[in-house]
């Protein structure tokens, strides 16, 4: 019989944490809603998986390794490789890094923050790792006999965010490098001009669910696999789980305080907002949410309404799917958890790109500012620090790529009866997921993006051939460290494992 265990740990704090997810430093002034590390263990007596979901933007290098090492130290019975860790991609979660280097934000020790009392990321890191380890170990210890059921439903949670134009929008620019960054496609590009052709691709309406029950067939929790990054609150100065906070709250009202483990399905080219419906949306929100009381500290109130809309879609799908999925529960199905390392081709810097950036004058450094507005100073200075390395990054990648043409990725493929989960470490463009799901032998295949790696950190977007041709943010040389060809390698390697597990 299956054994199932859950745990959930609050990873919020009232201290001023640096928030991840934008091109400048924000920090938390308060906790708008709590963020969590949620763990689920599913064990058939022969093999098992430990899902670990965290409300942060991405999982940087060393995080998963440190969690696995600590788990093994506390409970040697647990195989650390059985931990599959994913981020929900909330843009109002803290920067989580073990040392001084905050990646795109630079070194904390070199970031001027006079007048703003910030917690060093390395200090929060210790707290974060401790809570994640507790969640994993407790879920494993809590295993008891139970059942699972599964199903899928429909929810309009996200939309393609890449506007395509009839012409290359960089024409006439005097910057020789701009044509390698922008092109015929732009993230969140305007749709109100004659050059607008349409959106690059569609949206994914499918939401996958895995429900768990105790031995008395009472609902205990669910995995919600949704193709939407939780980034409505990306401009705010507060800790927030984004729309997942609303989902947890609403499901608790209807089903009691069950566990919710969020997973972000492939959504690298998707976002929780529809650009070309702005005017209609404004009226919708004004009428539908007229009575909603807003927190005084919010910067962008309309995003709260988008959160509520997304929550409504997800919870309605949950209710519909649960109504029929719970009629067929399973307690004697195989768990097979495959973990292997695959190699993916890098997105090479071309000779033309190299020459353009090498010959571009070194970025003219603008002076850092110090005014009476310390919050705005922090925003400006961090953005300036982050911009200074663009030229050097291109040159360094070009000079190293021939010696190291691929990158390693730890791939998890997990069979739970007639469904499967497959992981990747990217913000994965939707088409790659559809290629896997369309050819998968399983009844349902859950694609889980932004999964932690033991030896590398977050690896950016993985864009399609079509997207790379149009360029723009999320599909240019800065956004993509792995090529579209590498994306297809991911597809084929995943399908190879899926077929092995099915057979």
Contact in structure between 59 and 452 (CB atoms under 8 Å):
yes
The tens digit of pLDDT for each residue in 95-139 reads 999 998 888 888 898 888 888 899 999 999 999 999 999 999 999
Q: Does residue 360 share a domain with residue 327?
A: no
Q: What is the CA radius of gyration of the chain?
A: 22
Question: Residue 259, CB half-sphere, CA atoms under 13 Å: how many?
Answer: 29
Q: Is residue 331 part of a domain?
A: yes
Total number of domains constituting the chain: 2
Q: Is residue 394 part of a domain?
A: yes
Cβ within 8 Å of residue 399, ≥6 positions away: none
Q: Is residue 75 part of a domain?
A: yes
Q: Is residue 243 part of a domain?
A: yes
Residue 100, Cβ density class (10 Å: 0-12 exposed, 13-18 middle, ≥19 buried) = middle
Domain extent at residue 322: 3-158+201-344+405-502
Question: What pTM, to 2 d.p., does this model score?
Answer: 0.97
Annotate 353-367 with b (16+ C-beta within 10 A) or e (fewer): bbebbeeeeeeeeee
pLDDT of the chain along its 503 residues, tens only?
Answer: 999 999 999 999 999 999 999 989 999 999 999 999 999 999 999 999 999 999 999 999 899 999 999 999 999 999 999 999 999 999 999 999 999 888 888 889 888 888 889 999 999 999 999 999 999 999 999 999 999 999 999 999 999 999 999 999 999 898 889 999 999 999 999 999 999 999 999 999 999 999 999 999 999 999 999 999 999 999 999 999 999 999 999 999 999 999 999 999 999 999 999 888 889 999 999 999 999 999 999 999 999 999 999 999 999 999 999 999 999 999 999 999 999 999 999 999 999 999 999 887 766 678 888 898 988 999 988 888 877 777 788 999 999 999 999 999 999 999 999 999 999 999 999 999 999 999 999 999 999 999 999 988 778 999 999 999 999 999 999 999 999 999 999 999 999 999 999 99
Q: Is residue 372 part of a domain?
A: yes
Q: Is residue 459 part of a domain?
A: yes
Q: Does residue 126 share a domain with residue 245?
A: yes
- CA 175 vs CA 164, 170, 181: distances in Å: 21, 9, 11
Give, as one character, the DSSP assignment of residue 231.
Answer: -
Q: Does residue 332 share a domain with residue 363?
A: no
Give, as one character, the DSSP assignment of residue 227.
Answer: S
The closest alpha carbon to 321, from 238, 207, 243, 411, belongs to 207
Q: Parallel, antiparallel, or unpaired: how do β-strands 419-423 and 444-448 relate?
A: parallel
DSSP 43-110: E-SS-EEEEEEESSS---TTHHHHHHHHHHHH-TTS-GGGEEEEE---TTSB---SSSB-GGG-BGGG
The closest alpha carbon to 91, from 147, 24, 191, belongs to 24
Q: Does residue 207 share a domain with residue 106?
A: yes
Q: Is residue 192 part of a domain?
A: no
Q: Which residue has the tokens 């689920």?
A: 40
The tens digit of pLDDT for each residue in 393-431 reads 899 999 999 999 999 999 999 999 999 999 999 999 999
Residue 178, Cβ density class (10 Å: 0-12 exposed, 13-18 middle, ≥19 buried) = middle
Q: Does residue 477 share a domain with residue 410?
A: yes
Cα separation of 201 and 476, whole Å? 17
Dihedral pair phi/psi, residue 288, rounded to 5° = -75, -35
Q: Does residue 54 share a domain with residue 126?
A: yes
CB neighbourhood size of 29 (10 A):
14
Q: Does residue 149 share a domain with residue 263?
A: yes
Cα separation of 498 and 503, whole Å? 9
Contact in structure between 98 and 66 (CB atoms under 8 Å):
yes
Q: Does residue 364 share a domain with residue 244?
A: no
Average pLDDT, the chain: 95
Q: Does residue 440 share a domain with residue 356?
A: no
Q: Does residue 374 share a domain with residue 271?
A: no
As beta bridge partners, residue 164 has: 185, 198
Give, as one character, the DSSP assignment of residue 29.
Answer: S
Q: Does residue 372 share a domain with residue 232?
A: no
Q: Is residue 168 part of a domain?
A: no
Length of the chain, in residues: 503
Cα separation of 82 and 210, whole Å? 18
Q: Does residue 137 share a domain with residue 22?
A: yes
């Amino acid at each position: 019989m299956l054994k199932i265990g859950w745990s959930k740990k609050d990873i919020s704090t009232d201290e001023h944490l640096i928030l991840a997810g934008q091109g400048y430093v924000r920090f938390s002034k308060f906790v708008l809603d709590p963020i969590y590390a949620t763990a689920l263990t599913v064990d058939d007596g022969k093999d098992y998986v430990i899902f670990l979901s965290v409300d942060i933007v991405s999982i940087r290098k060393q995080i998963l390794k440190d969690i696995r090492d600590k788990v093994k130290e506390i409970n040697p019975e647990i195989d650390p490789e059985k931990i599959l860790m994913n981020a929900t991609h909330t843009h109002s979660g803290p920067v989580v890094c073990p040392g001084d280097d905050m990646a795109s934000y630079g070194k904390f020790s070199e970031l001027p923050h006079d007048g703003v009392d910030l917690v060093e990321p390395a200090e929060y890191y210790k707290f974060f790792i401790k809570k994640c380890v507790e969640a994993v170990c407790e879920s494993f210890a809590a295993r008891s006999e139970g059942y699972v059921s599964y199903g899928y439903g429909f929810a309009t949670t996200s939309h393609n965010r890449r506007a395509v134009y009839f012409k290359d929008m960089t024409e006439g620019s005097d910057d020789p490098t701009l044509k390698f960054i922008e092109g015929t496609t732009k993230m969140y590009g305007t749709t109100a001009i004659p050059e607008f052709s349409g959106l690059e691709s569609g949206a994914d309406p499918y939401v996958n669910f895995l429900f768990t029950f105790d031995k008395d067939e009472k609902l205990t929790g669910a995995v919600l696999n949704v193709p939407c990054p939780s980034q409505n609150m990306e401009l705010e100065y507060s800790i927030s789980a984004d729309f997942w906070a609303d989902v947890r709250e609403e499901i608790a009202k209807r089903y009691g305080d069950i566990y919710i483990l969020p997973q972000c399905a492939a959504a690298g080219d998707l976002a929780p907002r529809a650009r070309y419906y702005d005017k209609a949306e404004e009226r919708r929100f004004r009428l539908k949410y007229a009575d909603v009381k807003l927190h005084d500290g919010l910067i962008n109130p309309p995003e709260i309404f988008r959160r509520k809309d997304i929550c409504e879609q997800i919870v309605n799908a949950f209710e519909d799917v649960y109504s029929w999925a719970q009629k067929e529960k399973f307690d004697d199905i195989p768990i097979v958890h495959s973990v292997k390392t695959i190699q993916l081709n890098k997105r090479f810097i071309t000779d033309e790109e190299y020459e353009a950036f090498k010959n571009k004058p070194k970025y003219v450094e603008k002076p850092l500012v110090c005014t009476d507005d310390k919050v705005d100073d922090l925003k400006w200075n961090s953005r300036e620090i982050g911009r200074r390395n663009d030229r050097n990054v291109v040159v360094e990648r070009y000079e190293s790529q021939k010696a190291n043409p691929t990158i390693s990725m730890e791939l998890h493929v997990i069979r739970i009866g007639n469904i499967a989960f497959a992981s990747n470490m990217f913000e994965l463009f939707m088409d790659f997921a559809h290629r896997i799901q369309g050819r998968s032998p399983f009844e349902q295949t859950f694609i889980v993006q932004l999964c932690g790696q033991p030896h590398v950190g977050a690896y950016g977007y993985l864009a399609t051939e079509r997207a790379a041709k149009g360029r723009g943010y999320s599909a240019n040389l800065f956004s993509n460290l792995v090529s579209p060809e590498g994306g297809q390698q991911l597809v084929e390697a995943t399908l190879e494992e899926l077929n092995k597990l099915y057979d």
